[in-house]
Amino acid sequence: MMKILLLEDDTVLSDILLDYLREYYDVTHTYSMKEALSLSEENSYDLYIFDINVPDGDGLTLLRELRSFYDETPTIFITAFHDTKYLTKAFASGANDFIRKPFELEELSVRIENIKKHFGLNLVVPLGDDMELNTQTHVLKTPKHLFHLTAKESELLLYLYRHKNRVISQDEMLQNLWKYDDLPSSDAIRTLIKELRKYVGKEHIINIRGEGYRFE
């Protein structure tokens, strides 16, 4: 199930959103920017939904900080502002979508589903060359074989795919795929990559010496 972190300080709106979204998604809610930052460090989410203004800060600053730590989780901003300067600031901060209050719940749902499609967040993700990954069962289907991946292999392959055509460093992998108290060694990461290259082919996961790996 898609995991969403919701930052919204309006109690009435947050209750409405939680009642609606929790029918379809796994939603964690907070009123605080600082708590949202802590939650993002401790957990992995598929989508952020941030209000721009909250009592202890603002969603724009939060997202800029997250992006500075290689966190590229898709983000939708919700706001009462109708001035286009906030729209500009939101996208400059790294936002992927923007919705103004008041809005219909169905509109938010459509935007979420569009994010899922664009970022490969559906249960079965096509990887190209007739390959697909089931993110729930961790089964990788290729034209000739079925591979049963470990959860971490599946998570790493999906991360590389979502950021395809960009070099992903080991530091970025560590910050986004492991908790601080469970960090693997460089050798362990190389072993994971080596196994994934066996499954999908070396031509799809390119080793950029001294920099990292790129999915093509």
User: pLDDT digit string (tens) for 5-52?
Assistant: 999 999 999 999 999 999 889 999 999 999 999 999 888 899 999 999
Fold of domain 3-118? Rossmann fold (3.40.50)
Which pair of structure tokens corresponds to residue 197? 């290259």
The domain 124-215 having CATH identifier 2.130.10.10: the answer here is no
Is the pLDDT at 200 greater than 90, yes or no? yes
Q: 44 or 203: whose pLDDT is higher?
A: 203
Cα separation, 65 vs 52, whole angstroms? 14
Tell me what pLDDT residue 123 has.
78
* SS3 at position 198: helix
Per-domain boundaries in the chain: 3-118, 124-215
Q: Average the pLDDT over 116-122 and give the result.
A: 78
Q: What are phi and psi of 6, to 5 degrees?
A: -110, 120
Q: 45-54, 64-73, 120-129, 180-189: which has the minimum mean pLDDT?
A: 120-129
3-118 shares its CATH topology with 124-215: no
Give the mean pLDDT of the chain: 90
Cα separation, 183 vs 174, whole angstroms? 7
Which pair of structure tokens corresponds to residue 105? 């719940």
